[in-house]
């Protein structure tokens, strides 16, 4: 009787790993890294739009001529339509990051559908673009998430590293953390909004320190011989 018990334990462990590891391929393919042999980087911003951070980030990206991907929360898109449209109009990739940023791994099919299809509609109706990429809040997924992502024809995107900028360290600290972790092919996770505050009413959701860190992050990366490329280069 010991063997079946061990097997059951292993199965539970595997599903747990799939749910919590943003890079796990268990619930469908996930993009977490670009080519490791070239000094290329891919910038991604989650949880926006939130004008206090998104707008200065767009200005920095424009003056540095750098593409990025923004994984937008539907509720924030509906609250800040001009900023959402500006992100799209600048040519950055617009990805679905659900409607209200609920953790999907504990939801059933109906809840997951409301979050993923709801976010898809919010983005489409406000920006006029059909999102092609999806990033689960915190990277948490389950089999329903994988199935629906396939049906919506999404490429599911994770990240190579984040720097906990959501904890609101000072801009210099955010910059230092990114510099310390730069590596060829990295998909970098930063935040221009707050997933716990999709309506944008809580001042703790302000990510202007991330926006203030961005020019230094770009300068450090370029000094180290890196180039920023569009995430869409990595899509199938
Ligand atoms: Zn998020």
For the annotated catalytic residues, the residue numbers are 46, 191
Q: Taking the alpha carbons of 127, 120, 78, 62 in that order, is the dihedral positive or negative? A: negative
Over residues 214-227, the mean pLDDT reads 98
Q: Higher pLDDT residue, 1 or 187?
A: 187
- 106-127 pLDDT, tens digit each: 999 999 999 999 999 999 999 9
Percent of the chain with pLDDT over 70: 92
Residue 144's pLDDT is: 92
CA of 101 to the centre of ligand 1 (A): 6
CA of 97 to the centre of ligand 1 (A): 7
* Short-list 91, 27, 102, 81, CA closest to 61: 91
Residue 29's pLDDT is: 84
Residue 172's pLDDT is: 98
Predicted confidence band of residue 14 (pLDDT cuts 50, 70, 90): low
Is residue 18 scored above 80 in pLDDT? no
Indicate the pTM of the whole model: 0.92
Over residues 34-47, the mean pLDDT reads 97
Report angle CA 25, 30, 31 to the nearest 5 degrees: 140
Report angle CA 18, 20, 22 to the nearest 5 degrees: 80
CA of 2 to the centre of ligand 1 (A): 41
- 120-179 pLDDT, tens digit each: 999 999 999 999 999 999 999 888 999 999 999 999 999 999 999 999 999 999 999 999
Q: Is 173 buried (19+), middle (13-18) or exposed (0-12) by CB count in 10 A?
A: middle
* Short-list 157, 133, 151, CA closest to 29: 157
Over residues 192-218, the mean pLDDT reads 92
Those residues with Cβ within 8 angstroms of residue 27's Cβ, 6 or more apart along the chain or in another chain: 18, 19, 141, 142, 143, 145, 146
- Tell me the three state secondary structure of residue 198: coil
Residue 117's pLDDT is: 98
Residue 235's pLDDT is: 93
Distance CA 180, CA 213 (A): 14
Q: Where are the alpha helices (DSSP H) in 103-187?
A: 109-127, 143-151, 171-181
CA of 181 to the centre of ligand 1 (A): 20
CA of 9 to the centre of ligand 1 (A): 30
């Amino acid at each position: 009787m010991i063997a079946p018990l061990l097997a059951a334990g292993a199965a539970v462990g595997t599903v747990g790993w799939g749910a919590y590891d943003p890079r796990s391929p268990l619930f469908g393919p996930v993009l977490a890294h670009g080519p490791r042999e070239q000094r290329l980087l891919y910038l991604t911003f989650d949880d926006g739009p939130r004008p206090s951070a998104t707008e200065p980030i767009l200005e920095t990206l424009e003056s540095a001529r750098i593409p990025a991907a923004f994984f937008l929360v539907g509720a924030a898109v509906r609250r800040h339509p001009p900023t959402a449209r500006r992100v799209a109009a600048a040519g950055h990739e617009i990805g679905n990051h659900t409607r209200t940023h609920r953790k999907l791994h504990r939801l059933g099919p109906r809840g997951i559908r409301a979050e993923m299809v709801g976010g898809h509609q919010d983005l489409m109706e406000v920006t006029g673009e059909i999102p092609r990429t999806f990033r689960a809040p915190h990277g948490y997924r389950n089999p329903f998430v994988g199935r629906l992502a396939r049906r919506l024809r999404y490429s599911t995107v994770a990240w190579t590293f984040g720097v906990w900028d959501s904890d609101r360290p000072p801009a210099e600290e955010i910059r230092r953390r990114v510099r310390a972790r730069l590596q060829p092919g990295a998909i970098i996770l930063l935040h221009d909004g707050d997933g716990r505050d999709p309506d944008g009413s809580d001042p703790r959701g302000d990510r202007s320190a991330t926006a203030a860190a961005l020019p230094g992050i770009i300068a450090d990366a370029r000094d180290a011989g890196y180039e920023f490329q569009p995430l869409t280069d990595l899509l199938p």
